Structures are given as C-alpha cells and as structure tokens.
Amino acid sequence: MSQQLIEKLKAFKVIPVIQINNIEQAVPLAKTLVENGLPVAEVTFRTEAAAEAIRLMREAYPEMCIGAGTVLNAEQVDRAVEAGAEFVVAPGLNPNTVRYCQEINIPMVPGVNNPSQVEQALELGLTFLKFFPAEASGGINMVKSLLAPYVDVSFMPTGGIGEANIRDYLAVDRILCCGGTWMVSPKMIEAGQWDEIGKLVREAVALVQD
C-alpha cells in the first residue's frame, strides 16, 4: 500500500462503503459524494453492477478516490482494476489474492480480526489492514489489543460503525480511517434519495473532521 494512498484515506477519515444494485445510480451517487465533501468510495463487489459502477464513477469524476470492496479472488481484482479502482479491499485475508495484487501492483487492504491473521498479513508485507467485522469482533477493545503487540500495524475498521461510535474509533492511535454505510445505505441509493444522502454525507464529514 503506497504511503500516498494511505495518507489520502487517512485524510478522509470515513470511507463510504457502497453497494450499487443498479448502474444508473452510480454517477448520481458519485456526484452526491463529491459535492458534499467526501470524494471517496469503496464499491463492493457484492452485486453484478460493481465493476460497471466503478467505471462510470471514474469517468464522471476522475478526481475521486475509488476502491473496490468485497474482492475475493484474482478475477475480481482484474475486473476492479480494469474498471478504474485505485485499491482493493477484502473481508478476509486470502494470501493468493494478496500475492496477485502485489504482482500487478494494486494496493490491497485485507480484512483481519485476530492475531494470527495480523501475523499472516505482516508475513506478506502488509501493515495497513481492515479490521472486520469491527463491532462483532470486539470493537475498540479488540482493536487496541491487536495494536499493542503489532507496532507497525494500522487499521481501517469496518462493520457496525456509525455516527454513535466513529469518533471513538478514530480517537485510537493508528486507526487511520473507518468504513461506513450509514450515510449511503442501499435502501436510500435504491430510492435515489440524493438530497438525504448528501445531508448525511455532510454530517459525517463534519463529525469526523471536528
């Protein structure tokens, strides 16, 4: 993971984790994020529309920082990169996928939630990791417990993080940013509630930058 990209994600503090079911929603959503001060997205490969959504967002807003999430194998990595993703995120740590990303030089953030996985990541040369699923895996106490012995590691917790607890996470040293869905819920995206999403995005930006 390049230091430049890590610094970029760290500056955003909150990374909207987006599920797009319908490619028509991609550009209006990108517009809403950009215009409301959060030009970054992790578009999850949970739906068929993901790669095309990344491509359309990248074309419409080249300045956006766009990653692909829920990337499980090399084939999805290729599709994400081809579509214009700058980085890929996985829910778990698959050494094959990590090595493939390293071969083609695309930054990869694998998910971990225990010491053995952190050590596997370190063995693969990775120090910026996703802590997932954050709340279900013990939340802030677990993150602190993992950070203590692994002094080179920093985290992007995702899963169960929202307005009520994001500031507590960000207050922990070496939690650089958090993934969140509360301001971009699939329901609101599906309904095209761009004004409502815009309002929640502005509130999220204010909350984490405060």
3-state secondary structure of 157: strand
> What is the rounded distance in angstroms from the CA atom of residue 4 to the CA atom of residue 19?
26
Listed residue (149, 103, 109) closest to 126, CA to CA = 109
> Which position among 130, 163, 196, 203 bears the catalytic label?
130
Q: For residue 1, what is the DSSP state? A: -
Q: Please indicate whether residue 42 is annotated as part of the active site.
A: yes
Cβ atoms of 87 and 58 closer than 8 Å:
no
> Which position among 10, 24, 35, 42 bears the catalytic label?
42
Quickly list H helices, the chain. Answer: 3-12, 26-35, 50-60, 74-83, 95-104, 115-123, 139-147, 166-170, 186-190, 194-209
CA atoms 49, 42, 135, 109: torsion sign = positive
Question: For residue 158, which amino acid is it?
Answer: T
List the 111-112 sheet strands across, edge first.
111-112, 128-131, 154-157
Structure token digits, residue 161: 């993080």
> What is the rounded distance in angstroms from the CA atom of residue 115 to the CA atom of residue 185?
31
Q: Please indicate whether residue 130 is annotated as part of the active site.
A: yes
Give the residue numbers annotated as catalytic, written as ranges: 42, 130
